Structures are given as C-alpha cells and as structure tokens.
Amino acid sequence: MSAATLLHRWLEILARLWLGWQDLRRASHPLLVSQTDGKFVIRHVEKNRPADTGSAKPQRASVLARVTPGTRASAGVRGAARGSQVVLEWPADQIVARRITVPAQARALLAGIVANQIERLSPWPPDQAVHGFAAEEVAGQGTTLDVRVLIGERAAIERTLGELTAIDLPADRVVVQEDGGRNGGPVTLWSRLAHDSKASVRHASRRIGIGLAVIVGLSLCLTLWAMISTWSLRGESESVAVRYKALQRQMQSPSPLTLTSINTPERAWAARESSPSAMIVLEALSRVLPDQAYLTELRLDKDSLRISGLAHDVPSLVAPLEQSGHLANVRFFAPTTLGPDGQHFRFHIEARVEPRLDFKAQ
C-alpha cells in the first residue's frame, strides 16, 4: 500500500470522527419540525431543569415559529438552526410498519439483514423507499429479537426536505414515532450524515488536509529560521574570535606612534610599563569573564578601560571584574540591550586600571 493511500485513508478516518462529533454535539440541541395545517411548525426542545435530571419525563418543546412553505424562515429561526440539529418528524400515518424476528446473536448485523429484506417488506421498490428499524428482545426469550421496520416513500420525504431547504431550514434527520411513542423512541428514516457521507467526508478530508499542510509548512519555516539563526551566531562568534586574536597581538607590541614621540630612555620605560599592563588586563579579563560571555570591543587608554560584548547575565559581570584586583570603579557607560539572536544581551562596561607591577629604575 502506497504512502498516498495510507494518508488518504487516515484523513478519511479523521474526517468521519470530526463529522460524527459535530453531529453528536448538535443532536444535544434538537430543533423539531412537523407539518400541521399546511405549515411547518418549528419547536425548540428545552433542556431539563436540574430538578428534572434523571426523571422519566420527556423534554418539553416550545413552539418557536410557524412557517408557510415557500416563505423564508425568520432570522431568529435560522440562527437557532445553526447550532442545532433540525429534525423533521414524519407523520406515522404515512409510513408502513413491518415486523421480523432474528436471532439475538445477529444484533450487530441488523442493518444488512433489514436491507436484504426490504424488497420483500416494502410496498415500494427499494430505490423508491427509505426505512429505519428498532429492535428489542422478545419478552421471556433472550435469544430472539423483535425488529420493527418502518418504511416511507422516498419521493414524498425528499419533496418535504426540498421545501425545508427552500425556507433556509435544511433538515439533518427524518424520524417517525409510532403510536405517540408507546412503542419506543423515534426511529430514524433518513439522515444527512449517512446520505451525504461520501461528499461530506471528502470535503472534511480536504479541509483537514489543508490545515495539516499549513501546520507542517509553518513548522518547516520555523525550523529553517532556527538553523539560519544558528549559522549566523556561529559566524559572529568566529568573527569575534578573529578580532580578539588581532587585539591580543596588537597589545603584545608597543604602539609606534607613542614610542617615537619620546627619547630613548623614556621610551624603554614606557614600553616596559605599558606592554605588561595591557597583557595583565587581558589575562585578568580572560579569567574573570564567564564562558558564556565574550568581548566584541576592548579599548585601553592609559588607566581607562572600556569593554563591550555579549553575555546571558550582564549584571553578574560587575562583581568578578571588581574582585579581580586589577580594575576599580567598574560601571556601565551605555544601556544594556538585547542582542540580535534574542538570547544574549549587549553590554558596555568602563573601569579604571590599577597597575599590579612595580618597576624601579636602576
């Protein structure tokens, strides 16, 4: 079996579950429609009050409207129908009732058994009839089922369904109840979910497939964005490492502009006092800064040091720098901002360098 076939069947299963859940949810708020004196009487079933919970009393139905065929239903009726299941109550005098008995073990196969017997039971040809059935065990016998088969004329039911659709009140089910309900609950003759099952399942499968495709597409876009951000951060880290090495080499050699402006003895003392100080500051920074923090800029002007970089926890950098023994008056000289990767914070710290080596002239 190909992957496309498996995906198609999986979407069909999801669509049937979705349609079944929707039909079950709407069935809890039925809107009953019956025909009286040439008009459609629309009734809204009221929910049982808390005091009536568990009682055997049927739910009360209040008349919501009376609509003449060919006249559009009011906005209130159409609004009530959107969240409800519209049930057409078919007159019991327009159906034919038949009874058959089957073994109790065949309860799960009743639908197929009745469908095979309908040509014999129905006064109309099978393609011109709709039917429903209800089964109950024969009193005193646990091995036999008494099956009531109710049959109606398809043309008459479809004509009434068309009239309901014309007034913007399409029916979801057609039920019939014999003898005012003395023979049991209503029996379903027709349901939209079963009649339009293929088209409904196909439409729902398409909508579910589109929704899943959108979710997968968004997931791929987020994954691609995360990969690009990672590569960008890695490139920035490599650039910072190169700049750090260049700065380290620059600090290891005296500045030619500074040394050429003084005489030879003073130049020697300047080289001796400035070069070791820069190296000591750099070594001190490498020891006290945590691994998740790295520098992007370092400026050393006499005893004034300014550093900039990125770190997760910027406030925690001040204490180690002050405790290094080489820096004093550690403070921020610019606001701390969120870095381009959204995880690190850019900091700007200024401090005064305190020399730790004492040089004596010979």
pLDDT band, residue 11 (cuts 50/70/90): confident
**What is the arithmetic mean of pLDDT over 92-104?**
91
100 with 110: CB under 8 angstroms?
A: no
Q: Is the per-residue pLDDT at 304 higher than 50? A: yes
Q: Which of these three, 164, 195, 226, is where a domain ends?
A: 195
User: What local confidence, expressed as pLDDT, does residue 50 receive?
Assistant: 43
Residue 267 has pLDDT above 80, yes or no: no
- Edge-first strand order for the sheet with 30-36 is 61-67, 39-45, 30-36, 85-90, 173-176, 187-191
Q: Do 148 and 296 sit in the same domain of this protein?
A: no
Is residue 137 domain-shared with residue 268, that is, in the same domain?
A: no
CA neighbor of 163 nearest in space, from 268, 58, 33, 250: 33
- The answer on 191 and 269 residing in a single domain is no
Under DSSP, the state recorded for 242 is H
Look at residue 248 and tell me if it is in a domain: no
What is the DSSP annotation of 31-46?
EEEEEETTEEEEEEEP
In terms of domains, do 182 and 329 share one? no
Domain containing residue 185: CATH number: 3.30.420
**Taking a C-beta distance cutoff of 8 angstroms, is the pair 135, 107 a contact?**
yes
Task: Give residue 348's pLDDT.
Answer: 92
Residues in the chain: 362
pLDDT, mean of residues 147-163: 92
Give the model's pLDDT for residue 132: 92
Asked whether residue 231 is domain-assigned, the answer is no
Does 163 lie in the same domain as 40? Answer: yes
Instruction: Provide mean pLDDT across the span 242-270.
Output: 63
| Contacts for 310 with CB less than 8 Å, ≥ 6 apart | 293, 294, 296, 339, 344, 345, 346, 347
Answer yes or no: is pLDDT of 274 > 60.
Answer: no
Q: Is residue 52 part of a domain?
A: no
Has residue 9 been placed in a domain?
yes
The average pLDDT across 208-224 equals: 89
Q: Which of 195, 214, 245 is the last residue of a domain?
A: 195
317 against 155, higher pLDDT: 155
pLDDT at residue 358 in the model: 46
216: Cβ–Cβ under 8 A, 6 or more apart, which residues? Answer: none
pLDDT for 283 beyond 90: no
On whether both 66 and 167 belong to a single domain, the answer is: yes
Question: Could you report the per-residue pLDDT of 57-75, keeping only the tens digit for each?
Answer: 456 678 888 888 888 888 8
pLDDT in tens, 233-249: 888 888 888 888 888 77
Note the pLDDT of residue 9: 81
Q: What band does 124 get if pLDDT is binned at 50, 70 and 90? A: very high
User: For residue 257, is it within any domain?
Assistant: yes
Note whether residue 359 is domain-resident: no
> Quick one: 332 exposed, middle or buried, by C-beta within 10 A (0-12, 13-18, 19+)?
middle
Residue 263: predicted pLDDT: 58
Domain limit, last residue, from 176, 195, 214: 195
Mean pLDDT, the chain, integer: 80
Stated pTM of the model:
0.50
Domain count, the chain: 2
Is residue 201 assigned to a domain?
A: no
Pair 9, 79 in one domain: yes
Closest CA to 190 of 225, 162, 209, 218: 162
pLDDT over 90, % of the chain: 22
Q: Identify which has the larger pLDDT, 361 or 272.
A: 272
What does the alpha-carbon distance between residue 24 and residue 193 come to, in Å, rounded to a whole number?
Answer: 11
Give the domain CATH number at 341: 3.30.1360
Q: Identify which of 203, 183, 166, 207 has the alpha carbon closest to the alpha carbon of residue 67.
A: 166
Q: Which residues of 59-85 are buried (b: 16+ CB within 10 A; e: fewer)?
A: eebeebbebeeeeebeeebeebbeebb
- Band of the pLDDT at 176, cuts 50, 70, 90? very high
127 and 9: one domain?
yes
318, part of any domain: yes
The predicted structure's pLDDT at residue 52: 44
* Higher per-residue confidence, 246 vs 148: 148
Question: Mean pLDDT over residues 177-186, rounded?
Answer: 68
Strands 85-90 and 173-176: parallel
Hey, which residues does 190 pair with through a beta bridge?
Answer: 174
Confidence of residue 175 (pLDDT cuts 50, 70, 90): very high
Residues 20 and 94 in one domain: yes
CA nearest neighbour of 166 among 73, 80, 79, 81: 73
Residue ranges making up the domain that contains 300 = 253-353
Mean pLDDT of 268-297: 72
Q: Are 274 and 169 part of one and the same domain?
A: no
- Residue with the bigger pLDDT between 272 and 284: it is 284
Is the confidence at residue 259, as pLDDT, over 50? no
pLDDT digits (tens, 9 = 90+) for 305-337: 899 999 888 888 888 888 888 888 889 998 988
CA dist., res. 148 & res. 130, Å (int): 14
For residues 187 and 278, state if they share a domain. Answer: no
**185 and 309 both lie in a single domain:** no
